[in-house]
């Protein structure tokens, strides 16, 4: 079972989509891949962290980024 916080950035006819695993609808659709990657990282970070898989125009995964949880109320290190 995959992490429900994970997202894939995929090329579509109407732009670049941010899609959750097994989702029927995109979380976001943007004009550029760069915007979609940024949006995906924000979504994953706010959801508690996970993986962003970036697909090329051929549909193959070309990169993957691990995103740490965002909005951590404890900003203290150590």
For residue range 35-61, what is the model confidence (pLDDT) as tens digits? 999 999 999 999 999 999 999 999 999
Q: Is 21 exposed, middle or buried (0-12, 13-18, 19+ CB in 10 A)?
A: middle
Tell me the pTM.
0.84
Cα–Cα distance measured from residue 18 to residue 16, given in angstroms and rounded to the nearest whole number? 7
Q: Is 3 exposed, middle or buried (0-12, 13-18, 19+ CB in 10 A)?
A: middle
Rg (CA), the chain: 13
pLDDT of residue 50: 93
Residue 1 has pLDDT above 90, yes or no: no
């Amino acid at each position: 079972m995959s992490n429900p916080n994970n997202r894939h950035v995929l090329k579509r006819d109407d732009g670049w989509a941010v899609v959750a695993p097994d989702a029927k609808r995109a979380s976001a659709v943007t004009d550029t891949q760069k915007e979609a990657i940024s949006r995906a990282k924000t979504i994953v970070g706010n959801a508690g962290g996970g993986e962003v898989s970036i697909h090329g125009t051929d549909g193959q995964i070309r990169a993957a980024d691990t995103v740490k949880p965002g909005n951590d109320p404890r900003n203290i290190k150590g």
